[in-house]
Amino acid sequence: MIDNGKRSILGVEVNVIDYDGAVSRVIAAARSKESCTVSALAVHGVMTGALDASQKYRLNQLDIVTPDGQPVRWALRLLHGEALKDRVYGPNLTLKICEKAAEEDLSIFLFGSRVEVLLKLDSRLKELFPSLQIAGMEPSSFRTGDVEQSEGLANRIKSSGADVLFVGLGCPRQEIFAYENAKRFSMPIIAVGAAFDFHAGLLAQAPLWMQQRGLEWLYRLTREPKRLWRRYLYLNPAYCFLLVTQFFKLEKLLTPTQKRPDADVHYL
């Protein structure tokens, strides 16, 4: 098990951690009913923080930020000499946490995405882990709300009795949700990106050989070009350029200093 603290990638603090280390911390927090905010960040997620001072602050308040993408894992080695054997990929981390939760008699709550996705995800998880307790599910309304609406959502989740909360709102909304709700929930909040769609069978994952070579972005771009072309064709080169500046200790000239957000967003 590896859990060696955090290292900066473009000012975003990423954990040097493996699957066992991440699962162990999440399950320990669930058992003791403590907050533990987790996100699995690929290049896009890191860049949301590298380019936005408020988002950088939010990400750096999370308890665990795993190196979801291979380029993020490689950056840990290039910049800090931390040679992890594998990335900690959000969809895989989701299944590993669910497996352990089933073994430990801990229940989960699924928040985000759409009703049809949640229903298929519920069926798939019960198929994989028959003893897993799913305390509740709620789709996103795909909007922001006020404090009262945000507290209402939190109360519904808490009243379910769940021990672990999975959030699938997409980046950066799910990380904002985890940051804003960290003190509301006495349970881990896991921001898992596209894991809901993947495990519901509605979105195909890249072949393993592409994942291992850091080409998952290319596979997803070919599947959703209209939605993703800006993300990958602008952010990937920018990420590589900024890594070079950090290697030469110049990144602070080009990336903003983190700044506490002026107000909460309240994603519902």
| Chain segment 191-231, per-residue pLDDT in tens | 997 899 999 988 788 888 988 888 888 888 888 888 888 88
pLDDT given at position 252: 84
Q: Is the peptide bond before 261 cis (omega within 30 degrees of 0)?
A: no
- pLDDT tens, residue by residue, 146-190: 999 999 999 999 999 999 999 999 999 999 999 999 999 999 999
Alpha carbon distance 245, 254 (integer Å): 8
pLDDT given at position 224: 82
pLDDT given at position 199: 94
Assign 77 a pLDDT band (cuts: 50, 70, 90): very high
Q: What is the dihedral of CA 259, 65, 134, 159, to 10 degrees?
A: -30
Q: How many CA atoms lie within 13 A of 137 on its CB side?
A: 17
C-alpha angle 262-263-264 in degrees, rounded to nearest 5: 140
Is the pLDDT reported for residue 254 higher than 90? no
pLDDT given at position 215: 85
**Domain covering 3-140+151-199: architecture:** 3-Layer(aba) Sandwich (3.40)
Assign 120 a pLDDT band (cuts: 50, 70, 90): very high
pLDDT given at position 223: 83
pTM for this predicted structure: 0.94
Locate tokens 């994989």: which residue?
128
Q: Are 40 and 94 in contact (CB under 8 A)?
A: no
Alpha carbon distance 190, 41 (integer Å): 12
Burial 197-211, CB ≥16 within 10 A → b, else e: bbbbeebebbeeebb
C-alpha angle 220-194-61 in degrees, rounded to nearest 5: 120
Alpha carbon distance 151, 73 (integer Å): 36
